[in-house]
Amino acid sequence: MTQTVLITGASSGLGEGMAREFANRGCNLALCARRTERLEQLREELEGSHPGLTVKVRALDVNNHDQVFEVFQAFRDDFGQLDRIIVNAGIGKGQPLGAGKFRANLQTAETNFVAALAQMEAAMEIFRAQNKGHLVVVSSVTAVRGMPGNVTTYAATKAGLAALSEGLRVELAKKRSPIRVTTLYPGYIRTAINEKVKNTPFIVDARTGCAAMVKAIESEKPELYVPGWPWTPLGFVLKRLPVGVLARLF
């Protein structure tokens, strides 16, 4: 049976890359983002290169929380059910705390955490009604520790997402629910969000990174670093480094 995958933030970056990878695997797609012209271009491309594939697109500003619920429900109505929802939309506008850039940090927190909470709520309403589904939350390798400077707020939001996901997994396990929840911790993958970041060790191109993400998603494991090498061992080490060592590294 053909699966249907909903991806937020699908007009560029990791969302766009994952859409292409899932299309290659024969999945129907529900794609949403603010920039509908780019979504329409992507829809035409994917339906043209994959005959028989159904791609639906809708405008969505994830900071409009009511719209999140409306768009997710509309996609569910389009396809009858949603098999997988990927909470991907996010920004990287953080600044050092106390540098007079509170608005940038506030926007990062609202988009990466509060808006993601709305997406998770909307997804779980659908999955609970279906009694099945796979929720995927895109966190970051920066979530494993507090990070300095421009990354402080960004990393904190991604850590918050990881905690939300884990709490949800505990609840679902307690209820023996068939619903699955996966947290992804991507390392550095070259997209517009990090093109100006200077310190990006072990960075991979978007196609390589998105292929690794989709492979990890399809495993439905609870938590995964992507690409697995070198980020799985690095994530283990980062969690245990003393603060003084972290300060020298970052």
Q: pLDDT by residue (tens digit) across 138-148?
A: 999 999 999 99
pLDDT at 92: 87
Give percent of the chain above pLDDT 90: 89
pLDDT at 23 over 70: yes
Mean pLDDT in the chain?
Answer: 94
Structure tokens that stand for 227 in this block: 């690409």
Fill in the amino acid letter for 68. V
Q: What is the pTM of this model?
A: 0.95
Tell me how far CA of residue 224 lies from CA of 4, 186, 189, in angstroms.
22, 8, 15
Q: Residue 193: its pLDDT value, please?
A: 64
Q: Does residue 30 carry a pLDDT above 80? A: yes
Instruction: Please compute the mean of the pLDDT values over residues 4-9 and round it to a whole number.
Output: 98
Query: What are the domain boundaries of the chain?
Result: 4-249
The CATH class that applies to domain 4-249 reads alpha beta
pLDDT-derived band at 196, boundaries 50, 70, 90: low
194 has a pLDDT exceeding 70: no
Reported as a single tens digit per residue, the pLDDT across 84-127 is: 999 999 998 889 999 999 999 999 999 999 999 999 999 999 99
Give the model's pLDDT for residue 250: 83
Does residue 189 contact residue 204 with C-beta atoms inside 8 Å?
Answer: yes
Contact of 29 with 55, CB cutoff 8 Å: yes
Catalytic residues: 154
